[in-house]
Amino acid sequence: MKKLYCALLFFTSVLLFAQVDQIVEAFQESNNEVYTFIKDKSYDQIKKNNIATETYLANQSFETWLPAGWEIYNEGAGGWNQSNSDSYTGSSSVFSNGLPYSSSWLISPEIDLTTASSAFLTFFERISNSSGGDDYPEILISSEYEAGTGLPFTSSYTISEISDFYPHPWDKRTWDLSEFLGNTIHIAFYYYNDSETFPGFDWYIDDISVTDDGSTICNGDYGIPSSATLNSPPDYAQNMQLNIPISWSPPFSDDVTKQLLYVGTDGGGTVSPTSIHNGEEQFPFTSGLNLTNLLPNTTYYWQVVPTNCAFEAENCPIWSFTTGDGNIHYGGGSSTQGNYYFANSTSGAAASPYQPSYNWIDISSGTDIISSIGNDETLGPFNIGFNFDFFGNSYSQFYINSNGFITFENTSGQTNFPHPFPSTNGVNNLIAGYYMDLDPTNTNVSDKHIYYGNNNGDLIITFEKIPQLYWDGSQYQPVDADGWLTFQIILFQNGNVKIQFKEKGTSFIVDDFYTGEVGMENSDGTQGILYKRNFYGGPIFDGTSPLAVEFYKNNLVSANVELNILLEGPFSGGTMSFSANNIVPLNQPYNTPAFGYNGSETTTSGFISSNNIVDWVYIELRSGSSASTATTVIAKRAALVQNTGVVLDTEGSTDIDFGMVQPGDYYIVVYHRNHLPIISSQAITITNEIGVGF
C-alpha cells in the first residue's frame, strides 16, 4: 500500500500494548479498483465507487450529541463538544479547544474486530486558530477499557501522537488497525494542553469510521468541483530541467475535499498517467510540488483532479512538458523559454556555442537607492538608456525590487516569494538576479548598496552586500553580519542579459528551501527561462570563485567552414602524393592525451579510396581578441583531407559543420598529427556560411 497522508507519527508503547505503526492509503493499490474513468469527448469523470456500501464496523458523523455509546471525560476547562457551525459533511462535527491546563477524552463505543479480516480507522479533521500552548493530540486504542467506568486513564492504551499538528482545512487521516484483529477495542481521541496560560489549537473531528477496506463516509450533497488551472510549467513546455516545480491553482471551493495527483511518462496525454504519482492525495489547498530526478529528453504528463467527498470530478485536463538534456551549465532555446539560451562561465559550459566570461563592472559612480528602498519594496521607473528588447517587447524604463530582481512594470501584491519561471502567478515581466526574500533594511549588515547606471551604453544594476531573510522552517529570520550576497544584472544593448555573482558572506545560505531563483519571465508568465531555483539548477559560484551566467536570444548562426589544407612533404605537382594504402585509420586518431579530442567520427576504406583521402585533421573554432589570445575553444571537429587539399566531413560534404554559434569574430586552428598546428592570422567574421583557404 502507498502512503496517503504526509503524517509522521511518534509511537510510545504503554504497558503491554502493541504499537499502531502504519499509516495506509484509504484507496486500493490498483487504480482500476478505485476509479472508473469515462471518456466522453469533453471530459473525464471519476465515479464514486470507493464509497462504502457494506455495513460499517463503526461510524459516527456527530449529527446528534452525545451519540449513543460515546463517552467524554474532561479535566479542566473546555473539552469535547458538538459544533453546529463547522463540519466536513452534514451540519455538525465535534471539537476540543485545548484550553490551558486541560485534557479531554472522546471515547468510542466498543468496536468488534473479532471476525474482521482487516480494519481501518478513518476520520476527517480540521485544525484552526493559533496555539501558544503545549498541546498534544493523541489517538489511543485499548482492548482493556470498560465503558462507563469514568476512569479512562487507568486503562492501558496504544498511544499514537500526531506530530504534524498544525492549522489546515478539512483533511483525512487513516490508520491500519490490523494489529487489533480478533479483539474488541475502544478508540479514544485524547487532547491535552500542559500550558497554564496559553490555549492550544481547535481540533475538529468528523465522519469517524472503521471499515474493512478503508472506505469513507460521505454525508451531504456536494457539487462536482471545477478543475484546477495550470500555473507552471506551461502546457507542452520544452527543454525543462530535470528537477522542476509544478504548480497549479486549485478551485478553492467547499466542494473540494481532496486533490489527486497523477504524474508519469505513460498515458500519452489522453489517459491519466500513473508511473510516478498514481492518484496521490493532496490537500484541497495544495498548489504545487517539486519533481526531481527526471529523465533527460523525456515527455512527462500530469493531471490534478480536485474531488468532492464522493470522489467525483470532471473536466480535468492532462498537461505535459518535455525535459532537456539535463545540463545545468548551458541550454535552453525552446519557444517556451522565449528562444533564450543560457550559459555560465564554468568549465561545465565549455561546449556551449556561446560562453560568457566573468568581468565585474564597477558602477559605484552611478545612482545608489539603498537609503530610499524598503523591505519588499519596488522603486522606479528608471531609464534604461536605450530600447531594450525583452521577450519580443521593447522597454525604455525599469523598476528595482529589494528582493533581488528588476521588472519592466510596477509590482503589486506579494513580492518576497518567487514562483517558478515561467508561471502565470506572482510577479511577471522580470529578470531575477537572485530573487528571494532579501532585506536591505537589516542593520546587522553594513556597507550595503543598490546601484544602477550605464557603462559603455549598457545598463548595470548592482546589489552589493544585500542581506537575506532565512526561512527556519516556521518563519523568516534576519541574518547576522555575514549573511549577504553581492551580484549584478547587466542589460546589453543587443538584448542579452548577464548576471554576475561576485561574493557572499559566510552566513549566506545558497542551497536550501526558499533560497533564491535566477532566471527571466515575460509579461504574462507564459514564457520564461530558469537557471536556478532553491536546491536545483546551475551554480552561482564556480567553487569559491565568482561566476557569470548569460541569457541570450536564439540568434545563433550556422558555422559551416570550407577548408583547403596542403600538408608539407607529400605535396607534388598540385596534389599530395601521400599514399592511403592501409595507413589512414577508419576512426579519427586525435583521441590521445596530446590532442584530447573525444569525437566519434569514423569512415570506411571505400570512402578513403574513392575520395583520394590523404589523412585526418583536427579543427578548432576559437574566440579571442587576437590570434595570440584566441584560447577559448567554441567548437571542434575531426575531418578528412583529399589529396587536392580539400577538407571533407565523413559524409563527403565540403562544409565542416561546427554547429550554431553567436555571430562574431573567430579564429580557425588546424592540427595534423605529423605537423605543427596552424591558426588563421586574421579573425574571420561569421554571419553565415564562410569559406576559408589555407
Instruction: Dig out the grid coordinates for 682 from the structure.
Output: 586574421
pLDDT of residue 262: 96
Q: CB atoms < 10 A from the CB of 459, how many?
A: 24
Helix (H) or strand (E) holding 34: helix 31-34
Burial of 574 (0-12, 13-18, 19+ CB in 10 A): exposed
Nearest CA-CA partner of 618 in 593, 594, 595: 595
Greater model confidence, 101 or 235: 235
Which residue type sits at 479?
Answer: V
* pLDDT range class, residue 480, cuts 50, 70, 90: confident
**Predicted TM-score (pTM) of this structure:** 0.56
Q: Is the pLDDT of residue 553 over 60?
A: yes
Nearest CA-CA partner of 627 in 672, 668, 661, 688: 668
Nearest CA-CA partner of 613 in 658, 571, 657, 643: 643
Instruction: Dig out the grid coordinates for 593 from the structure.
Output: 592525451
Q: Average pLDDT, whole number, for the chain?
A: 82
Tell me the pLDDT tens digit for each residue of 95-113.
Answer: 998 788 888 999 999 999 9
Give the mean pLDDT of 472-501: 85
Instruction: Dig out the grid coordinates for 689 from the structure.
Output: 556560411
Residues 263 and 276: beta-carbon distance below 8 Å:
yes
Nearest CA-CA partner of 152 in 167, 169, 170, 140: 140
Residues 496 and 551: beta-carbon distance below 8 Å:
yes
Of 295-299, 561-565, 669-673, minimum mean pLDDT range = 561-565
Greater model confidence, 12 or 505: 505
CA 419, distance to chain mean position in Å, is 10
**CA pair distance 24, 173, nearest whole angstrom:** 9
For 359-412, the DSSP string reads -----TTSEE-TTT--TT-EEEEEEEEEEEEETTEEEEEEEEETTTEEESS---
Residue 32 DSSP one-character state: H
Cis status of the peptide bond prior to 16, with omega within 30 of 0: no
Give strand ranges (E) for 536-653.
536-537, 547-553, 557-562, 571-572, 575-576, 613-623, 632-642, 647-648
pLDDT of residue 13: 26
Of 46-55, 150-159, 515-524, 538-547, minimum mean pLDDT range = 46-55
pLDDT of residue 582: 65
Burial of 656 (0-12, 13-18, 19+ CB in 10 A): buried
* pLDDT range class, residue 393, cuts 50, 70, 90: very high
**CA pair distance 668, 623, nearest whole angstrom:** 9
Q: Is the pLDDT of residue 349 over 90?
A: yes
Q: Is the pLDDT of residue 239 over 60?
A: yes
**CA pair distance 171, 687, nearest whole angstrom:** 61
Nearest CA-CA partner of 134 in 55, 196, 63: 196
Cis status of the peptide bond prior to 233, with omega within 30 of 0: yes
Q: Is the pLDDT of residue 44 over 50?
A: no
**CA pair distance 176, 158, nearest whole angstrom:** 13
Helix (H) or strand (E) holding 478: strand 476-478
Of 282-291, 570-579, 583-592, minimum mean pLDDT range = 570-579
Nearest CA-CA partner of 578 in 590, 587, 589, 566: 566
Residues 6+ apart with CB under 8 A from 372: 379
**CA pair distance 152, 134, nearest whole angstrom:** 22
Which residue type sits at 397?
Answer: Q
**CA pair distance 689, 398, nearest whole angstrom:** 38
Residues 440 and 416: beta-carbon distance below 8 Å:
no
Nearest CA-CA partner of 191 in 73, 108, 68: 73
Q: Calculate the alpha carbon distances from 348 to 222, 343, 345, 500 in Å.
A: 55, 9, 8, 17
Place of cell 525604455: 396
Of 1-15, 82-96, 315-329, minimum mean pLDDT range = 1-15
Nearest CA-CA partner of 323 in 344, 353, 298: 298
Which residue type sits at 350?
Answer: A
**CA pair distance 284, 168, nearest whole angstrom:** 10
Strand, coil or helix: what is 238? strand
Q: Is the pLDDT of residue 48 over 60?
A: no
Greater model confidence, 587 or 308: 587
pLDDT of residue 454: 92
Tell me the pLDDT tens digit for each residue of 289-330.
Answer: 889 999 999 999 999 999 887 778 888 999 999 998 889 999
Instruction: Dig out the grid coordinates for 610 from the structure.
Output: 574513392
Q: Is the pLDDT of residue 672 over 70?
A: yes
- HSE-up of 358 (CA within 13 Å, CB side)? 17
Tell me the pLDDT tens digit for each residue of 112-138.
Answer: 999 888 888 889 888 887 666 677 788
Place of cell 515581466: 429
Which residue type sits at 287?
Answer: S
Place of cell 519588499: 376
Q: CB atoms < 10 A from the CB of 524, how many?
A: 11
**CA pair distance 521, 337, nearest whole angstrom:** 8
Instruction: Dig out the grid coordinates for 500 from the structure.
Output: 554576475
Distance between start and end Cα atoms, the chain: 70
**CA pair distance 241, 166, nearest whole angstrom:** 33
Q: What are phi and psi for residue 226, nearest 5 degrees?
A: -70, 165
CB environment 191-209: b (16+ within 10 A), e (fewer): bbbebeebbbbbbbbbbbb
Tell me the pairing of strands 318-323 and 237-240.
parallel
pLDDT of residue 365: 94
* pLDDT range class, residue 554, cuts 50, 70, 90: low
pLDDT of residue 215: 57
